[in-house]
Structure 1
C-alpha cells in the first residue's frame, strides 16, 4: 500500500472503563483515611484503573521510549548548539551516563532509544532500535520538514516501538526525546495546533542568548509564512520532527493497548498535542509528568486542559520529568492494593 496522508488515519481507541472507575472510587473512598485525603493520587488511581480496565491498576513495569531525531531548521539558526550534539547525546544515553539513565535506574524503569532520524550513523547497541526514516528533517523554514510518506513512517515506527515494549511486559509507556532544534518544531506545532500567537510559543530552548532568540523568532516567522494551514497531520509533517511523530505514534499505540502514556515536557507534549488533534480520544490516556520551564509549555498544557503532576523548573527533555513522575503512579497503584479499608481497621479495634 502506498503511504500518503489519505491512507493514514489515527487508530480507534477503546473507551475508558467507567465501571472499573466507579468501583475504584468506592474502593478508595472506603480506605482507612478521610474522604479525598490523598487528593490527586486518588484521581490518578482511578485514571489508571479506567485505562487498564481493572480495579487493581498496575504501574510497576515502565518503559521510557526515547525518540531521537535531527532538525533541518538548525541550519537556519534556531538552536545555540550544532546538530552533532544529538548523536553525541544519544551515545551518552546508550552508555548509561545521561540524566535520564540516572533517574531511570533510581525509579526502576527501562530506557529504550529509538533512532527516528538522527543525522549520523549510530553503532549497534542492544538498547537502540534503528527506525531511521531519514537523516534529519528538512528545514521547515524553507520547505516541508517531511513528506507525507516520511511522516507516516515515523508515526508507524513509534507505534511499533510501543507495541514491542508492551509485548515485553511494559505496563506504563513513558515518552522522552533527544533532538537539537526540537523546541523550534514544538513551538510551531503549538502555534498552529494550540492555536496560540507565535511569540507566546517561542522560548530560549537549549541555551539561546537574546540575540539567538531574536534569530529564532525570525526563522519561525518565516516558517509560518511559508505554509498557512491548520490540519493536524499536515501541520505535523510541515513543521514537526521525526522524533515528535514517533512519540505521537507511540502514544496512540499505547492507548490502543490500554497502557497509560506518561508525557515528559514541552517536546513530548507537542507530540501529544498533534496526536490529540488527530485522535481526541487519546487525551484521557495521558498523564502529564511536569510543567517545563520552557516558554510555551504551560500554554500548551492549558490548550490540552492538562494538569502536570510535578513542577520542578526542569526543561531538559530526555524523558527526565516522565521518569520522576513514575513513583507517583506506583504509589497510586500501591494505595489501592495495600492500604487497609476502614471496615478492616474498625473490625480490628
Structure 2
C-alpha cells in the first residue's frame, strides 16, 4: 500500500459497533461507567475493529531503528555506535522492551530503517533508507522522497503484520539523537517554544541541554520546515525512525488496527500522522506519560491522557508493553463479566 493509498483508506470508526459495545457495558454487573477509562478503551477497540468482542491476543511492538547525523553536534551523551549495538541486542532478548514485552505476551519486530552500520543479524528486518540522516545543522535530514519512503516502510510493515493476524500494535524506536529530532519536529508542528519541548534525553548535563536547545533552534532556522506540511517537517528536521513510525500509525488506521504510542519519539510520530490525516487519531491509544517534557506538550496538543504516569524515558516500546496489560484488563472485564440478567439483578438506570 502506497502513502496515498493508505491516506485514502483511513475511515471513521464503526459507530454502530461502538453503540452496541456501550449497551453491553451498561448491562454488565457494575454501576454505570464504573470501569472508567477501561470502558472507553473497549469502545474504541470495538469502533476500530468493527467487532463487538475485540480480541487483542496477538500483540506486536514494532521498533524502528535509525541513526541521526545531528549526533556529531554533541546532542547526546551516548556515542552513535549504541544504536547498532542495541538494535542487535533486541534479538538477544535482554533489553528493557524484551523483558516487558515478554510479560505482556507481546513479540517485538525490529526494523533497520537507517542504522549507520551493516547489520547482519537474523531477525532484524532490513529496510535501510540510508546509513543515518544528514546533520540538520548543515541542511535537511533527508529528501522528501526519502521521508515518504520511510513512511511507506511503516505502512508496509503494519500491512504484513495485519496479514499474520496481529490485532494490537505497539510502537518503539532506537536511535541515538532522536530526542533532538523529535523535539525539532514536535515544536514545529505544535508551534511551541523549543525550550518547552527539550529534555535531557539519555542523560545530558545542564550544559549539554543548553547546547541541545541551541542546536535545535539553529537547525530549524537553517532548514525552515513548513509547519503546515508534516512531510516537509519530517524531511528537514526529523529522522528515519520518526518517519517510519509515522507510517506505522497511518498504516494501522488504514488497516483498522489499534496502535499504541510509547514515549516522546513515538508520540512525535503520532502527532505527524494525525497532522497528515486527522482521522488517524481515532486508531491511536496513548500508553504512558514520558518524563521528556515534550511528550506532555504533545499529549495536550492531541487532547490525549496517558494511561500510566511512571516517569519513564527509556523508549524502545517499553511503555507500550506496560500499557498492554491495561488493554488486556479492559478487554477481559468486558468479555468475561456477567450481565445483570446472569446475576438476576435489576439493571442500573441513569439518574435523572
- For the superposition of Structure 1 and Structure 2, which TM-score range results when normalised by the shorter chain? over 0.9
Q: CA RMSD in A?
A: 1.6
Residue 10 (structure 1) shift? 3.4
The normalised TM-score by structure 1 is 0.95
How far 1:124 sits from its partner (Å)?
Answer: 3.0
Displacement, 1:156? 1.0
Using the TM superposition, give the Cα deviation of residue 11 of structure 1 relative to its aligned residue in structure 2, in angstroms: 3.8
Structure 1 regions of 5+ residues with no counterpart?
Answer: none
Aligned twin of 1:116: 113
Provide the residue aligned with 1:164 in structure 2: 160
Structure-1 residue corresponding to 2:11 = 14
Does 1:69 find its partner at 2:69?
Answer: no
For residues 146-157 of structure 1, the aligned pairs below 5 Å read: 146-157=142-153
Q: Aligned equivalents of 1:153 and 1:277: distance in 2?
A: 18
The answer to whether the 8 A contact 1:204-1:295 is kept is no
Contact 2:252–2:259 at 8 Å: present in 1 too? yes
Task: Quote the residue 2:293 is aligned against.
Answer: 295
Aligned 8 A contact 1:77 1:219 in 2: no
Please report how far the alpha carbon of residue 9 of structure 1 lies from its aligned counterpart in structure 2 after TM superposition. Answer: 7.9
Following the alignment from structure 1 to structure 2, what is the Cα–Cα distance between the partners of residues 33 and 142? 60
Q: Counterpart of 1:177 in 2: which secondary structure?
A: strand
1:50-72 Cα offsets, whole Å, 9 max, x none, are 01011111111111000000000
Supply the distance in 2 between the matched residues of 1:319 and 1:211 (Cα, whole angstroms).
Answer: 29
1:255 corresponding residue in structure 2: 253
8 A Cα contact 2:6 2:155, kept in partner: no
> Are 1:336 and 2:334 counterparts?
yes
Match of 1:51 among 23, 42, 48: 48
What is the distance in 2 between the residues matched to 1:71 and 1:331?
38
The count of corresponding residues between Structure 1 and Structure 2 is 343
Map 1:197-346 onto structure 2 (within 5 A).
Answer: 197-228=193-224, 229-230=226-227, 231-346=229-344
Stretches of 4+ moved more than 4 A in 1? none
Contact in 1 for aligned 2:12/2:282 (Cα 8 Å): no
Query: Could you tell me how far 1:347 is from its partner in structure 2?
Result: 6.7
Q: 1:255-278 CA deviation, whole Å, 9 max, x = no partner?
A: 111100111000000001111101
Instruction: Give the Cα–Cα distance (whole angstroms) in 2 for the partners of residues 203 and 156 of structure 1.
Output: 29
Shift of 1:252: 0.8
Matches of 2:181 and 2:297 in 1, distance apart? Answer: 15
1:104 aligns with 2:101: yes
Distance 1:181 1:246 in 2: 16
Give how far 1:334 is off: 1.4
Distance 2:169 2:185 in 1: 23
Question: Over residues 30-69 of structure 1, what are the superposed CA-to-partner deviations in whole Å (9 max), with x where a residue is unaligned?
Answer: 0001111111001100010001011111111111000000
